[in-house]
Amino acid sequence: MAALPSCSPNKPCRSLLVLLAGVTVLLVGSVHLCAATLDEDIELIWGASHTYFFMDGDTETLALSLDEQQGSCFRSKGTYLYATISMDIKLVEGNSAGVVATVYTISEGPWSYHDEIDLEFLGNLTGEPITLHTNIFANGEGGREMQFYLWFDPTADYHTYTIEWNPKYIIIKVDGKAIRAFKNYQDQGVPYPTWQQQRVYGSLWDADQWATQGGAIKTDWSNAPFVAYYRNYNTTWCQPSPGVAWCGDEPRDSTHFDLDPQTMADLQWVDANYKIYDYCTDHKRFNESEFPKECYLQRAGV
């Protein structure tokens, strides 16, 4: 997939009462609406009538929903340059084919050189695995897709999804386990996000043109509204080595951000068991001489 859409609505939305009446059936007996404080850190961009805050036990939670009229989207009020960003997400239950839930970061400068770190959860038929689709853009250059199945049912409970972005690596984690690491090869001519602040977004939208089995399985709107739940949004600024003012000043020869043995082991385990697509091994897409430069550098262990 190309870059994510910039959170624009699809169609005029239904009234709030109609949507909440449909969703309340799913929530009765387990949660209650409340005056949440999560909105101190995020703001709703579109689909406000399809978006609501509630208390799930003792935890304030944001529900995004999608029907045939419209989806929903939020973004962070703050922007970040080198940070660890995490959120707990419970994905759409049941038949979610065609539906995509996201959490991602994106810069706000001209599109031609934008930066972006994507996590997209591609819905599927009931009983079929949901795909976690990841991509990284730097200086407007993307096409760095990797896809994974997860080792649990992401619709049954909340799980923590993390983007760790520092001057040496972008690391994507699930429940603290690293599933992908993209190294900074900027000194080798490979673009890397080093100077543009990025804002965090989350959305729920219809992508049945491509999301499930290449678009072969379409969204079944009789299952609408589709609902995904987000909570525990946390951001932590990158911490440099002692004596270094900020992460952007970290010396190039510093080992401060090197991958530790546990992270390396996690990456190897996921690669062997749960990775289902890697652009660096896609010989149908690239001739051997056409692979992106970072693919050769990774193979060489640089």
What are the residues facing 161 on neighbouring strands? Answer: 87, 174
Could you tell me how many residues make up the chain? 302
116 is catalytic: yes
Query: Is residue 270 within 8 Å of 172, Cβ to Cβ?
Result: no
HSE, side-chain direction, 13 A CA sphere, residue 177: 15
Q: How far apart are CA 250 and CA 13, in angstroms?
A: 48
- Short-list 125, 131, 132, 135, CA closest to 105: 135
Neighbours of 291 (CB within 10 A): 18
Q: What are the CB-based long-range contacts (under 8 Å, 24+) for 251-260?
A: 252/187, 257/166, 257/167, 257/168, 257/169, 258/168, 259/169, 259/171, 259/178, 259/181
Known catalytic residue at 120: yes
- Choose, from 116, 145, 250, 294, the residue flagged as catalytic: 116
- Catalytic entry in 120, 145, 164, 250: 120
CB-CB contact of 210 with 2 (8 Å): no
Close Cβ partners of 65 (under 8 Å, ≥ 6 residues apart): 19, 23, 47, 50, 51, 71, 72, 204, 225, 226, 227, 228
Give the count of beta carbons closer than 10 Å to the beta carbon of residue 64: 27
Place of tokens 């990158």: 238
Question: Is the torsion defined by CA of 170, 189, 194, 199 positive or negative?
Answer: negative
**Catalytic positions, written as ranges:** 116, 120
